[in-house]
Amino acid sequence: MAPTEAYWGIVTSTIDWCEENYVVSRYIAEFWNTISNVIMIFAPLFACILAVQQKLEKPVLFSYISIVVVGCGSWLFHMTLQYSMQLMDELPMIYGSAFLLYGILTLEAEKGQNFAWLVYTLFVYCVAVTVMYLVNKNPIFHEVAYALMVAVTVFASIRVLIKYQSKTGILLYASSFATYMSGFLLWNIDNVYCQNLRSFRRDQIHTAATPLFECHAWWHILAGMGTYLCLLFLTHMRYTILNKSPELKFLFGFLPYVSVPNAAKQEKVR
């Protein structure tokens, strides 16, 4: 049974997900949907530290930082279910996608090449989406705006893979795409079959197994890892193009990351 008093008060967000509120803790509205953001925060945070140490290019570093911001915003949103925190989750998704898209579209950048037109286009798109979303507050509008950016990123990435035929790049992007789409499938199941899932969690399984059937939490884990792998693809392909011999390694034999020891000695800059 949920606590009688919710720490964050009444729900003001325009979305209330399938996980039942304040069941695990009175301080966290959607417990599993909240803590499942850990991977979206700490994996790219580790990559940020590595990017600074190896002096990677700013588009790469900013892309990692943007995903950390999205993870923190999502944590706050699901913890509170307040509208202001919802915006801290959803709007960074748009701006973070812009950083990633910029990185993908400029993978082959030459020294001194000007991409002001791309920066301006992405900035105008993000601001327009922000203003329109603040006005109409329709989550479907946000989802479509985000999906458009994801679609462009996918097509741009495939073009790069076809051109350079990097085995590691193909492995990273295929893993990224499969992981992300698996999360997207569970996101849809959570939305479409919410009542069935709630009934199943209440009546058919032991309490300890409940997290296994919190599909939105799994969306965070899979989408977070899928996005992280896409950033590794971006990093690896950029420094492959620069002939800097990037290496795919694993932290503790589990968490993949890209090491570029000679990144500072580059001939092409952005």
Residue 75 assigned as binding residue: no
Give the DSSP H or E segment for 143.
helix 139-164
Residue 17 known to bind ligand? yes
| Residue 216 marked ligand-binding | yes
Helix, strand, coil in percent for the chain, rounding step 5: 70, 5, 25
Q: State the Cα–Cα distance between residues 270 and 108, nearest whole angstrom.
A: 10
58-80 helix and 215-241 helix, angle to the nearest 10 degrees: 170
32 labeled binding residue? no
21 annotated ligand-binding residue: yes
Gap between the Cα atoms of 10 and 62, Å rounded: 35
Give every CB contact of residue 103 below 8 A, 6+ residues apart in sequence.
59, 60, 63, 234, 238
Amino acid at 216: H
Q: d(Cα 123, Cα 138) in Å, to the nearest integer? A: 21
Q: Does 220 belong to an annotated binding site?
A: yes
Q: Is 95 left (phi over 0), alpha (psi -120 to 50) or beta?
A: alpha
What residues form the annotated binding site for Ca(2+)?
16-17, 19, 21, 30
What residues form the annotated binding site for Zn(2+)?
78, 216, 220
What residues form the annotated binding site?
16-17, 19, 21, 30, 78, 216, 220
